[in-house]
Each structure stands twice: as C-alpha cells, then as structure tokens.
Amino acid sequence: MAFLKNLYKILIPFYILFLLYLMFFGFERSQYDVNIVRLIPMFSTAGFINETILWKTIVINVFGNILVFVPFGFFGIVFPKLNNFWILILDFLFAIIIVESLQYFTRLGVFDIDDIILNTLGVAIGFWIYQLFEKKFNSRRFF
C-alpha cells in the first residue's frame, strides 16, 4: 500500500495540471466576449439538462464535474492535516473558488456555483472512499 501512496504523491501534481488545462483550454474553449457568473445553485445545471438532448453530454458534464475531483479526497496522503474532513473541504473550497474566479477574470470559463458544488461533492466522495480504505488496510497492518 505504501507503493500506492508514493504513486499518488508523484501523479497528483500532473493530474492537477491536466485538470487546470481542461478548465481553461480544453474542449476547444475560447475566450468569451463577456464575463459570466452563475450564482443560483443548480439552476444552470437543471437548465443544461432540460436543453440537452444527448444523455452522454449530460453525464460528461454533471458526473464529470464530480468524478474528476474524487482524487482530491485522497489529499491526506500528501498533507496529513487534510485527513480532517472539514479542513479538506474548506481548503478545497478556497482553491476551487480561486480557479472559478480566474475563469471569470480571464473569460476562459464561467464562474458557476454548480461547478463548485459538484466539484466539492467529488472531493467529499473521495475523502469517504479514502477513509474506508485507510480503516480497512490499517486493521490489517499494511501501513
């Protein structure tokens, strides 16, 4: 299991860079003419689901915003203080709000409260998965 922890420590910086690339330049993203802010929770996501015909697009957008952030729930491997759920969530919220703000100011994305909510849900799910593995493997004395 120590091998997986070391692998995570090596791969997570590259994963972060990959996600930042996707958030600012991926999906043939170009700069918007205006800054866009969406502050009403789940309103834009509900509208997106109602207007989109392809379920594949809905799954990629909604569940993608959750699943790609699950690995951040394992941050306690690298930063032991982040083994505390609330510290992890608050630190993540601080970071994701900065990223969403940068999307707004660069007009290379939208400041969307739905993204913040879904991304944070992904981190929470990752944290719970990490805690389950920690308990399971600690009881077997693998660490």
Asked whether residue 141 carries a pLDDT value surpassing 70, the answer given is: no
For residues 8 and 2, what is the distance between their CA atoms, to the nearest angstrom?
A: 10
pLDDT tens per residue across span 16-25? 999 999 999 9
pTM of the model: 0.84
Pull the structure tokens for residue 64: 């993608």
The rounded percent of the chain whose pLDDT value lies above 70 is 90
Q: What is the pLDDT of residue 64?
A: 87
Q: What is the pLDDT of residue 66?
A: 95
C-beta atoms surrounding 91 within 10 Å: 17
Give 78-130 as a DSSP string: T-GGGGSHHHHHHHHHHHHHHHHHHHHHHTSS-EEHHHHHHHHHHHHHHHHHH
Considering 38-52, 83-97, 101-115, the range whose residues carry the highest mean pLDDT is 83-97
Residues 92-112, mean pLDDT to the nearest whole number: 93
Q: Which of these ranges, 39-43, 66-70, 113-117, 130-134, has the smallest mean pLDDT?
A: 39-43
Q: What is the pLDDT of residue 142?
A: 45
CA 64 to chain centre: 9
Count Cα neighbours of 122 within 13 Å in the Cβ-side half-sphere.
20
- For the chain, the average pLDDT equals 87
